Structures are given as structure tokens and as C-alpha cells.
Homo-oligomer: A and B are copies of this chain.
């Protein structure tokens, strides 16, 4: 809803509010009442009640002259009463994102190009890689790049320590594995839970693990795909955010499947990152809710 024409131009904040709690009657009315109290107009609203977990999820976009503290004050009785998990942010604020990569550049290129074109609301203070291959590409986009080989357990531990240090240093909100070809340690998975997205180059749950295109060729599937999912310590089992497929036929070699699949990987990962940055991805147990 739009505001009534004000006497004098007032700055309008554009807020995005996400929340979840145990479901019960009256939640929508209470939340919308708090927003009215904070002089807000709801411009976008989505809700979902999970029959699996009994939880209620909501995402709102709100225009209001109210700043953060006024809005939080109005919401406090509601979020307290229903014991809500909630997050309040400004629409369009770029999410601080750390990218991990290896040698394949298609996902990194896609993210950086979209970011610069204004289509991906992230800022990327750093790309970390276990290879130097992508330095020139990342340099071109003016993003700092560091690489360190991961060829021993010690080197892996050092690399992961650098990841956590960078997360702290840059106040990172999202870590993206853009075809980073190392398995994260359980400790790192735990530390990044709910804020680390991986792109797997198959249509999960088919073809988990290594060489999915080779597996797909051997099995003779007629569609290949890509899956963006949250990273958990259970390899390739984290909550799925987005998936895409593309048709192939018998004539494609494993190497051709790799090339064909890269388009799906890039766009699937960039889509997942965009939704996450826009606060459209909520986690409901082993599943995600996507408020598109």
C-alpha cells in the first residue's frame, strides 16, 4: 500500500522484515498492527505455515518514515509474545559476501558481472581461492583476491583459518562456494551454518559426491542440472535453495555435459545468492521456504 500524499516530502525507509514462530491465531493481525503503529505501509507480504514443523513464517516489505528504533519498538511486544525469530533490514542493502573459488571461473564471472550491473545486491570484499587461476578475472572487477594452495592437511587448516578470519574482518554475512572444489571441515561447516551456500553440479539428490557429470553420463539421464544449497557437515545434504535442469541426449560426452551444465550452475547459484541477499530464503528444518 502506498502512503497518503504527505504535506511535505518525508524520507521513506524501505524495510524488509522476516520472522518465524510457532503458529497460532492472530499473528498476522498483531504484526500488521505494529506496522500501522509505526506509520508503515505493507508493500509486499508473504506467509507460510509449515505442516512439517508447525512453524509460521512471514516476509514483509514496509515503507515508513519510521527509522529502525521506532519500528523495533513497535514490533517488540509482538515478537516477544510469540517468541519470534526475526530480522529487520533495509531493502536493497548490499550483503557482505565472501566468495571461495578454485579454477573454474563461470560462477565467479557470473556473480561479479551481475553485481556490477546492479542485479545482485551484494558487496564482495574478497575472493579466496586454492588456485591462482582466477586472479585476472577478479582483478578486472576490482575485487581483492588471495590464493593459497590446499595440498596438505596443514594447508587446509590454514586456508580455513583464513576464511574465518576474513569473515570476522569483513563482517561477512554470506559465504559462497562458487565451484570451490574442497570439502569444508565439519568445524567450518558448523561455524558458517545457515550462511554458506554451495553450488553442486548435479540435480540433487541424484549424483552426490565427485564427478557428477561422469555419473550422469554413465546412467544415461536425459536432463542434467545444478543445485544451490546450504552447506552442512552432511555432504550435499543441506537444505536446497534452487535447482535447474537442461535437456541433453545420448550424443553428449562427459566433457560436453560439463560445458552444458555450467550455464545452469551459474544462473542457479546467482539466483540463490540474490534470494538470500533479499531475505527471501528461510530455513524450515531440512527444507527451505523461498518467498519469491
A: residues with CB less than 8 A from B are 1-4, 23-29, 32-33, 35-36, 41-51, 54, 56, 105-106, 109, 113, 117, 119, 136, 140, 203-207, 218-223, 225, 239-245, 249-251, 253, 259, 262-263, 267, 284, 286-290, 292
Whether B36 and A25, one on each chain, are in contact in the complex, defined by CB atoms closer than 8 angstroms, is: yes
Chain B min CB distance to A153 (Å): 32
Whether A1 and B223, one on each chain, are in contact in the complex, defined by CB atoms closer than 8 angstroms, is: no
Kindly list chain B residues whose C-beta atoms are within 8 Å of the C-beta of A56: 1
Whether A23 and B47, one on each chain, are in contact in the complex, defined by CB atoms closer than 8 angstroms, is: no
Rounded to whole angstroms, the CA-CA distance of A140 and B253 in the bound complex is: 32
Leading 7 A-B pairs by shortest Cβ distance: A220-B287, A29-B32, A206-B206, A222-B243, A140-B140, A250-B289, A205-B206
8 A-B pairs (CB sep. < 8 Å): A32-B32, A45-B47, A203-B223, A206-B206, A219-B287, A220-B240, A222-B243, A250-B288
Kindly list chain B residues whose C-beta atoms are within 8 Å of the C-beta of A140: 136, 140
Chain B min CB distance to A91 (Å): 14
Rounded to whole angstroms, the CA-CA distance of A65 and B207 in the bound complex is: 40
Which of A28, A50, A241, A286 counts the most chain B CB atoms within 10 A?
Answer: A28
Kindly list chain B residues whose C-beta atoms are within 8 Å of the C-beta of A225: 223
Rounded to whole angstroms, the CA-CA distance of A250 and B32 in the bound complex is: 24
Kindly list chain B residues whose C-beta atoms are within 8 Å of the C-beta of A48: 250-251
Given A48-B251, A119-B259, 14 more pairs with CB closer than 8 A: A2-B23, A4-B24, A26-B36, A29-B29, A45-B46, A45-B47, A48-B250, A51-B253, A205-B206, A205-B207, A219-B287, A220-B287, A222-B241, A223-B245
Whether B223 and A243, one on each chain, are in contact in the complex, defined by CB atoms closer than 8 angstroms, is: yes
Of the candidates B2, B24, B28, B43, the one whose C-beta lies within 8 Å of that of A2 is B24
Whether A221 and B250, one on each chain, are in contact in the complex, defined by CB atoms closer than 8 angstroms, is: no
Chain B min CB distance to A182 (Å): 22
Whether B286 and A218, one on each chain, are in contact in the complex, defined by CB atoms closer than 8 angstroms, is: yes
Kindly list chain B residues whose C-beta atoms are within 8 Å of the C-beta of A221: 204-205, 240, 243
